[in-house]
Protein backbone atom coordinates (compact mmCIF):
# COMPACT_ATOMS: atom_id res chain seq x y z
CA UNK A 1 0.00 0.00 0.00
CA UNK A 2 1.40 3.38 -0.87
CA UNK A 3 2.01 5.96 1.82
CA UNK A 4 -0.87 8.01 0.51
CA UNK A 5 -3.51 5.29 0.73
CA UNK A 6 -2.14 4.09 4.07
CA UNK A 7 -2.36 7.65 5.34
CA UNK A 8 -5.93 8.02 4.10
CA UNK A 9 -6.92 4.74 5.71
CA UNK A 10 -5.39 5.71 9.04
CA UNK A 11 -7.00 9.14 9.01
CA UNK A 12 -10.35 7.50 8.16
CA UNK A 13 -10.04 5.22 11.17
CA UNK A 14 -9.41 8.27 13.30
CA UNK A 15 -5.70 7.97 13.90
CA UNK A 16 -4.18 11.43 14.12
CA UNK A 17 -2.01 11.70 11.04
CA UNK A 18 0.82 14.13 10.71
CA UNK A 19 1.24 15.87 7.40
CA UNK A 20 5.01 16.03 7.49
CA UNK A 21 5.93 12.42 7.96
CA UNK A 22 2.84 10.62 6.54
CA UNK A 23 3.05 8.28 9.46
CA UNK A 24 0.69 8.01 12.42
CA UNK A 25 1.66 10.34 15.22
CA UNK A 26 1.30 7.67 17.85
CA UNK A 27 1.03 3.90 17.68
CA UNK A 28 -2.12 2.30 19.18
CA UNK A 29 -1.70 2.46 22.91
CA UNK A 30 -3.78 2.63 26.07
CA UNK A 31 -3.26 6.36 26.34
CA UNK A 32 -5.86 7.32 23.73
CA UNK A 33 -8.68 9.55 24.93
CA UNK A 34 -11.98 10.52 23.45
CA UNK A 35 -12.70 14.07 22.45
CA UNK A 36 -16.01 15.77 23.22
CA UNK A 37 -17.59 14.89 19.90
CA UNK A 38 -16.48 11.32 20.42
CA UNK A 39 -18.06 11.13 23.84
CA UNK A 40 -21.37 12.34 22.47
CA UNK A 41 -21.11 9.83 19.64
CA UNK A 42 -20.26 7.01 22.07
CA UNK A 43 -23.30 7.82 24.20
CA UNK A 44 -25.62 7.93 21.20
CA UNK A 45 -24.27 4.66 19.82
CA UNK A 46 -24.67 3.01 23.20
CA UNK A 47 -28.29 4.07 23.67
CA UNK A 48 -29.37 3.18 20.15
CA UNK A 49 -27.58 -0.17 20.10
CA UNK A 50 -28.99 -1.22 23.46
CA UNK A 51 -32.53 -0.33 22.40
CA UNK A 52 -32.16 -2.13 19.07
CA UNK A 53 -30.78 -5.23 20.75
CA UNK A 54 -33.54 -5.15 23.37
CA UNK A 55 -36.25 -5.08 20.71
CA UNK A 56 -34.49 -7.76 18.64
CA UNK A 57 -34.01 -9.99 21.67
CA UNK A 58 -37.64 -9.66 22.74
CA UNK A 59 -38.98 -10.39 19.27
CA UNK A 60 -36.62 -13.35 18.87
CA UNK A 61 -37.61 -14.78 22.25
CA UNK A 62 -41.32 -14.27 21.69
CA UNK A 63 -41.36 -15.76 18.19
CA UNK A 64 -39.23 -18.75 19.18
CA UNK A 65 -41.13 -19.18 22.43
CA UNK A 66 -37.91 -19.26 24.38
CA UNK A 67 -37.15 -16.93 27.27
CA UNK A 68 -33.57 -18.14 27.31
CA UNK A 69 -33.10 -17.04 23.70
CA UNK A 70 -34.18 -13.51 24.57
CA UNK A 71 -31.73 -13.30 27.46
CA UNK A 72 -28.86 -14.74 25.40
CA UNK A 73 -29.39 -12.40 22.46
CA UNK A 74 -29.65 -9.42 24.80
CA UNK A 75 -26.52 -10.43 26.75
CA UNK A 76 -24.63 -10.74 23.47
CA UNK A 77 -25.90 -7.34 22.43
CA UNK A 78 -24.84 -5.70 25.68
CA UNK A 79 -21.35 -7.19 25.35
CA UNK A 80 -21.04 -6.04 21.74
CA UNK A 81 -22.22 -2.54 22.65
CA UNK A 82 -19.71 -2.45 25.47
CA UNK A 83 -16.88 -3.45 23.17
CA UNK A 84 -17.79 -0.69 20.73
CA UNK A 85 -18.54 2.21 23.04
CA UNK A 86 -16.40 1.76 26.13
CA UNK A 87 -12.79 1.52 24.97
CA UNK A 88 -11.14 4.66 23.59
CA UNK A 89 -11.26 3.67 19.96
CA UNK A 90 -9.51 6.07 17.56
CA UNK A 91 -12.66 6.92 15.63
CA UNK A 92 -13.92 8.66 18.77
CA UNK A 93 -10.99 11.02 18.63
CA UNK A 94 -11.45 12.63 15.24
CA UNK A 95 -11.91 16.18 16.53
CA UNK A 96 -9.25 16.49 19.17
CA UNK A 97 -8.75 19.73 21.01
CA UNK A 98 -5.19 20.89 20.58
CA UNK A 99 -3.99 22.43 23.76
CA UNK A 100 -1.72 25.42 23.41
CA UNK A 101 1.99 24.59 23.30
CA UNK A 102 3.83 25.88 26.42
CA UNK A 103 6.36 27.82 24.41
CA UNK A 104 3.55 29.57 22.56
CA UNK A 105 1.73 30.34 25.82
CA UNK A 106 4.72 32.23 27.17
CA UNK A 107 4.50 34.70 24.30
CA UNK A 108 1.04 35.78 25.46
CA UNK A 109 1.21 36.49 29.19
CA UNK A 110 -1.95 36.53 31.24
CA UNK A 111 -3.41 39.99 31.69
CA UNK A 112 -2.61 41.47 35.12
CA UNK A 113 -5.52 42.37 37.37
CA UNK A 114 -4.91 45.97 38.61
CA UNK A 115 -5.06 45.88 42.42
CA UNK A 116 -4.63 49.67 42.96
CA UNK A 117 -8.31 50.49 42.34
CA UNK A 118 -9.54 48.21 45.15
CA UNK A 119 -8.38 50.06 48.25
CA UNK A 120 -10.49 49.81 51.39
CA UNK A 121 -12.42 52.95 51.95
CA UNK A 122 -12.88 55.67 49.45
CA UNK A 123 -10.72 58.72 49.51
CA UNK A 124 -11.93 61.85 47.87
CA UNK B 1 -19.48 10.03 29.24
CA UNK B 2 -16.06 11.11 30.29
CA UNK B 3 -13.93 8.21 31.32
CA UNK B 4 -13.83 4.44 30.89
CA UNK B 5 -15.44 3.78 34.26
CA UNK B 6 -18.13 6.41 33.69
CA UNK B 7 -19.11 4.89 30.35
CA UNK B 8 -19.06 1.36 31.77
CA UNK B 9 -21.37 2.41 34.60
CA UNK B 10 -23.70 4.19 32.19
CA UNK B 11 -23.86 1.19 29.89
CA UNK B 12 -24.55 -1.31 32.66
CA UNK B 13 -27.22 0.86 34.30
CA UNK B 14 -29.03 1.47 31.04
CA UNK B 15 -28.76 -2.21 30.07
CA UNK B 16 -30.24 -3.41 33.35
CA UNK B 17 -33.04 -0.83 33.20
CA UNK B 18 -33.99 -1.95 29.72
CA UNK B 19 -33.84 -5.58 30.86
CA UNK B 20 -36.34 -4.77 33.61
CA UNK B 21 -38.63 -3.19 31.01
CA UNK B 22 -38.32 -6.29 28.81
CA UNK B 23 -39.35 -8.47 31.74
CA UNK B 24 -42.41 -6.30 32.41
CA UNK B 25 -43.47 -6.55 28.77
CA UNK B 26 -42.85 -10.30 28.81
CA UNK B 27 -45.13 -10.61 31.82
CA UNK B 28 -47.81 -8.50 30.13
CA UNK B 29 -47.61 -10.73 27.07
CA UNK B 30 -48.92 -13.59 29.22
CA UNK B 31 -52.33 -11.90 29.14
CA UNK B 32 -52.49 -12.61 25.42
CA UNK B 33 -52.63 -16.33 26.14
CA UNK B 34 -56.16 -17.67 26.58
CA UNK B 35 -55.87 -21.08 28.21
CA UNK B 36 -58.31 -23.95 27.67
CA UNK B 37 -57.47 -26.58 30.25
CA UNK B 38 -59.51 -29.70 30.95
CA UNK B 39 -59.49 -32.16 33.80
CA UNK B 40 -61.37 -35.17 35.13
CA UNK B 41 -61.18 -36.92 38.46
CA UNK B 42 -62.67 -40.30 39.23
CA UNK B 43 -62.81 -41.78 42.69
CA UNK B 44 -61.81 -45.34 42.09
CA UNK B 45 -62.11 -46.61 45.61
CA UNK B 46 -62.71 -45.54 49.19
CA UNK B 47 -59.91 -47.30 51.02
CA UNK B 48 -61.21 -46.66 54.51
CA UNK B 49 -63.49 -44.25 56.34
CA UNK B 50 -62.92 -44.09 60.07
CA UNK B 51 -63.52 -42.00 63.10
CA UNK B 52 -60.24 -40.98 64.70
CA UNK B 53 -59.61 -41.56 68.43
CA UNK B 54 -59.87 -37.78 69.02
CA UNK B 55 -63.22 -37.83 67.30
CA UNK B 56 -62.67 -36.45 63.79
CA UNK B 57 -63.67 -38.30 60.66
CA UNK B 58 -60.99 -39.37 58.24
CA UNK B 59 -61.20 -40.75 54.71
CA UNK B 60 -58.62 -42.37 52.48
CA UNK B 61 -59.54 -42.53 48.83
CA UNK B 62 -57.90 -43.58 45.60
CA UNK B 63 -58.31 -41.18 42.70
CA UNK B 64 -57.70 -41.29 38.98
CA UNK B 65 -56.71 -37.77 37.98
CA UNK B 66 -56.39 -36.97 34.29
CA UNK B 67 -55.81 -33.49 32.90
CA UNK B 68 -54.66 -31.57 29.85
CA UNK B 69 -53.04 -28.35 31.04
CA UNK B 70 -50.77 -27.72 28.07
CA UNK B 71 -52.54 -24.52 27.04
CA UNK B 72 -51.53 -22.90 30.33
CA UNK B 73 -47.86 -22.83 29.34
CA UNK B 74 -46.39 -19.74 27.64
CA UNK B 75 -42.82 -18.76 26.82
CA UNK B 76 -42.71 -17.03 30.19
CA UNK B 77 -43.81 -20.04 32.27
CA UNK B 78 -41.42 -21.63 34.69
CA UNK B 79 -43.71 -24.29 36.14
CA UNK B 80 -47.33 -24.97 37.00
CA UNK B 81 -48.30 -25.99 40.52
CA UNK B 82 -51.55 -27.96 40.73
CA UNK B 83 -53.46 -29.35 43.66
CA UNK B 84 -56.73 -31.19 44.17
CA UNK B 85 -58.96 -30.01 47.01
CA UNK B 86 -62.13 -31.51 48.39
CA UNK B 87 -64.76 -28.88 49.18
CA UNK B 88 -67.89 -29.41 51.23
CA UNK B 89 -70.26 -27.64 53.55
CA UNK B 90 -71.00 -28.40 57.18
CA UNK B 91 -73.32 -26.94 59.79
CA UNK B 92 -70.44 -25.08 61.42
CA UNK B 93 -68.60 -23.88 58.27
CA UNK B 94 -70.07 -22.82 54.97
CA UNK B 95 -66.93 -23.95 53.16
CA UNK B 96 -64.37 -26.54 54.10
CA UNK B 97 -61.41 -27.12 51.78
CA UNK B 98 -59.03 -29.99 52.26
CA UNK B 99 -56.03 -30.40 50.00
CA UNK B 100 -55.68 -34.01 48.92
CA UNK B 101 -52.91 -34.11 46.34
CA UNK B 102 -50.51 -31.74 44.58
CA UNK B 103 -47.80 -31.79 41.94
CA UNK B 104 -45.42 -29.52 40.07
CA UNK B 105 -45.46 -29.64 36.27
CA UNK B 106 -42.11 -28.34 35.06
CA UNK B 107 -42.68 -28.36 31.31
CA UNK B 108 -45.41 -28.28 28.71
CA UNK B 109 -44.72 -31.86 27.61
CA UNK B 110 -45.62 -33.16 31.06
CA UNK B 111 -48.85 -31.17 31.30
CA UNK B 112 -51.05 -33.79 29.66
CA UNK B 113 -51.19 -36.70 32.04
CA UNK B 114 -53.18 -39.17 34.07
CA UNK B 115 -52.22 -40.46 37.45
CA UNK B 116 -53.74 -42.94 39.86
CA UNK B 117 -52.95 -42.13 43.43
CA UNK B 118 -54.39 -42.23 46.88
CA UNK B 119 -54.59 -38.90 48.62
CA UNK B 120 -51.18 -37.51 49.51
CA UNK B 121 -52.52 -35.50 52.41
CA UNK B 122 -54.99 -36.68 54.97
CA UNK B 123 -58.62 -35.97 54.38
CA UNK B 124 -59.66 -35.13 57.94
CA UNK B 125 -62.71 -33.22 59.02
CA UNK B 126 -63.18 -30.85 61.97
CA UNK B 127 -65.74 -33.02 63.63
CA UNK B 128 -67.82 -35.97 62.54
CA UNK B 129 -69.60 -34.52 59.54
CA UNK B 130 -68.42 -36.67 56.67
CA UNK B 131 -70.90 -39.52 56.68
CA UNK B 132 -72.95 -39.33 53.52
CA UNK B 133 -71.39 -35.97 52.70
CA UNK B 134 -71.55 -34.66 49.15
CA UNK B 135 -68.42 -32.84 48.10
CA UNK B 136 -66.74 -31.19 45.11
CA UNK B 137 -63.28 -31.97 43.90
CA UNK B 138 -61.54 -28.88 42.59
CA UNK B 139 -58.36 -28.89 40.56
CA UNK B 140 -56.48 -25.63 41.27
CA UNK B 141 -53.46 -24.48 39.30
CA UNK B 142 -50.93 -21.73 39.78
CA UNK B 143 -48.99 -20.75 36.65
CA UNK B 144 -45.64 -19.53 37.93
CA UNK B 145 -43.86 -17.24 35.49
CA UNK B 146 -40.18 -16.79 34.82
CA UNK B 147 -40.77 -13.09 35.43
CA UNK B 148 -43.86 -11.17 36.48
CA UNK B 149 -47.42 -11.98 37.51
CA UNK B 150 -48.61 -15.40 38.63
CA UNK B 151 -52.00 -16.59 37.40
CA UNK B 152 -54.22 -18.94 39.36
CA UNK B 153 -57.51 -20.58 38.45
CA UNK B 154 -59.45 -23.77 39.00
CA UNK B 155 -61.92 -26.32 37.64
CA UNK B 156 -64.73 -27.43 39.93
CA UNK B 157 -66.00 -30.98 39.56
CA UNK B 158 -69.06 -31.84 41.57
CA UNK B 159 -71.11 -34.89 42.26
CA UNK B 160 -68.91 -36.89 44.62
CA UNK B 161 -70.18 -38.28 47.89
CA UNK B 162 -68.96 -40.34 50.82
CA UNK B 163 -70.61 -43.47 52.20
CA UNK B 164 -73.29 -43.20 54.85
CA UNK B 165 -71.47 -45.40 57.33
CA UNK B 166 -67.87 -45.86 58.37
CA UNK B 167 -65.88 -48.45 56.44
In a domain, B166, yes or no: no
CATH number for the domain spanning B76: value is 2.60.40
From the list A54, A66, A82, the residue facing B75 with the nearest CB is A66
How many domains, in total, are found in chain B?
2
A70 in contact with B, Cβ within 8 Å: yes
Enclosing domain of residue B93: 34-161
pLDDT at residue A120, as a whole number: 61
In a domain, B167, yes or no: no
Coil/strand/helix, residue B150: coil
Same domain, B115 and B157: yes
8 Å CB contact between B57 and B128:
yes
What average pLDDT does the structure give for chain B?
A: 93
From the list A42, A54, A64, the residue facing B22 with the nearest CB is A54
The residue ranking higher by pLDDT, A83 or A27, is: A83
Query: What residues have CB less than 8 Å from A71, skipping those under 6 apart?
Result: A57, A61
Same domain, B58 and B77: yes
Output the CA angle B156-B158-B160, nearest 5 degrees.
Answer: 135
User: For residue B67, which of B98, B101, B32 has the smallest C-alpha distance?
Assistant: B101
Same domain, B109 and B156: yes
Same domain, B61 and B118: yes
8 Å CB contact between A30 and A21:
no
Residue of B nearest to A74 (CA): B19
A40 in contact with B, Cβ within 8 Å: yes
Q: Do B7 and A50 touch (CB under 8 A)?
A: no
The ipTM assigned to this model is 0.82
Same domain, B3 and B43: no
Query: How far is B18 from B7, CA to CA, in rounded Å?
Result: 16
In a domain, B149, yes or no: yes
Per-residue model confidence as pLDDT tens digits over A54-97: 999 999 999 999 999 999 999 999 999 999 998 888 888 888 87
**Residues of chain A neighbouring B21 (CB-CB closer than 8 A):** 54
Per-residue model confidence as pLDDT tens digits over B6-52: 899 999 999 999 999 999 999 999 999 999 999 999 999 999 999 88
Same domain, B129 and B149: yes
Which residues are bridge partners to B46 per DSSP? B61
Q: Do B4 and A88 touch (CB under 8 A)?
A: yes
A26 in contact with B, Cβ within 8 Å: no
From the list B11, B26, B76, the residue facing A81 with the nearest CB is B11
Provide the shortest C-alpha distance from residue B125 to chain A (in Å).
44
**Residues of chain B neighbouring A74 (CB-CB closer than 8 A):** 19, 22
A79 in contact with B, Cβ within 8 Å: no
Amino acid sequence: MSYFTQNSLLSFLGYPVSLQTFLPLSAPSLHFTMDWQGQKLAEQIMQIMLLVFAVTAFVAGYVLGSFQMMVLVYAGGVTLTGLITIPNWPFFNRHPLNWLDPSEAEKHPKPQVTVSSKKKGFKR
Amino acid sequence: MHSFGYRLNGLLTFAVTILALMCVIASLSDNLNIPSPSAEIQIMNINWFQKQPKGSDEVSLRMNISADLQSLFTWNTKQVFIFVAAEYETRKNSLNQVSLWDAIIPAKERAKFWIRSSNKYRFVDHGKNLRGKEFNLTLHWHVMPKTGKMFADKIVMSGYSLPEEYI
